[in-house]
């Protein structure tokens, strides 16, 4: 009887994990709205986010859709160093509520590289406070794929005829 109980418990956990992974995959595929240009002087966390949709809310046992779902952490980023994981839901940065991606952009635009922040993260059914130190955004990530860089301005080095 104990063996059947253990097998049942393992199956429940496995199905929950599989369901959460499926919800994350679908959240990654949702279209995102146009984002305003990044502030090059703002702090950088180094993760990819998606809105918390109905499916992710159900799979992660959330009571609300508040927060942003972490769908990926970028290698060697502050998010990775802080231990953020795919499936975490970021709900606060330094006691400022993060209800959606707009809130995230707004709060992050007011940060700076080197700044220590407290991240309020929903993980495994409870809120956790995770410290992180923001970095400067790498130059190759300043312009998302498909966006053109602004033309260089200022004097040229071309000699006059």
Span 37-51, pLDDT tens digits:
567 889 999 999 999
The string of DSSP codes covering 3-57 is: HHHHHHHHHHHHHHHHHHHHHHHHHHHS--PPPPPP-TTSEE--EEEEE--HHHH
Span 48-93, pLDDT tens digits:
999 999 998 888 888 899 999 999 999 999 999 999 999 999 999 9
Q: Which comes out higher in pLDDT, residue 116 or 10?
A: 116
Residue 95: phi, psi to the nearest 5? 65, 10
Kindly list the distances between the CA atom of residue 12 and the CA atoms of 8, 18, 60, 114, in Å, as whole numbers in the listed order: 6, 10, 13, 42
Q: Are strands 135-136 and 43-44 parallel, antiparallel or unpaired?
A: antiparallel
The DSSP element (H or E) to which 119 belongs, if any, is strand 116-123
Whole-number Å distance between alpha carbons of 114 and 64? 32
38: nearest Cα among 117, 149, 131: 149
Helix-, strand-, coil-residue percentages of the chain, each rounded to 5: 30, 25, 45
Kindly list the distances between the CA atom of residue 147 and the CA atoms of 37, 72, 142, in Å, as whole numbers in the listed order: 10, 21, 10
Q: What is the pLDDT of the chain when averaged over all its residues? A: 77
For domain 2-139, the question of CATH label 3.90.420.10 is answered with no
Q: Which two tokens stand for residue 157?
A: 């080095």
Span 11-37, pLDDT tens digits:
444 334 444 454 555 554 444 433 445
Ordered by start, the domain boundaries in the chain are: 2-139
Q: Is 108 helix (H, G, I), strand (E, B) or coil?
A: helix
């Amino acid at each position: 009887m104990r063996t059947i109980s253990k097998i049942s418990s393992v199956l429940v956990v496995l199905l929950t994990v599989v369901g959460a992974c499926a919800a994350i995959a679908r959240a990654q595929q949702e279209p995102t709205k146009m984002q305003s240009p990044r502030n090059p002087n703002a702090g950088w966390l180094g993760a990819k986010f998606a809105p918390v949709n109905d499916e992710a809310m159900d799979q992660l046992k959330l009571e609300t859709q508040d927060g942003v779902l972490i769908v990926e952490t970028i290698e060697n980023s502050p998010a990775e160093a802080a231990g953020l994981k795919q499936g975490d839901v970021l709900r606060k940065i330094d006691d400022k509520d993060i209800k959606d991606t707009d809130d995230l952009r707004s709060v992050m635009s007011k940060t700076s590289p080197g700044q220590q922040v407290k991240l309020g993260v929903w993980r495994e059914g409870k809120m956790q406070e995770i410290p992180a130190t923001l970095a400067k955004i790498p130059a190759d990530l300043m312009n998302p794929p498909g966006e053109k860089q602004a033309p260089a301005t200022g004097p040229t080095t071309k000699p006059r005829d």
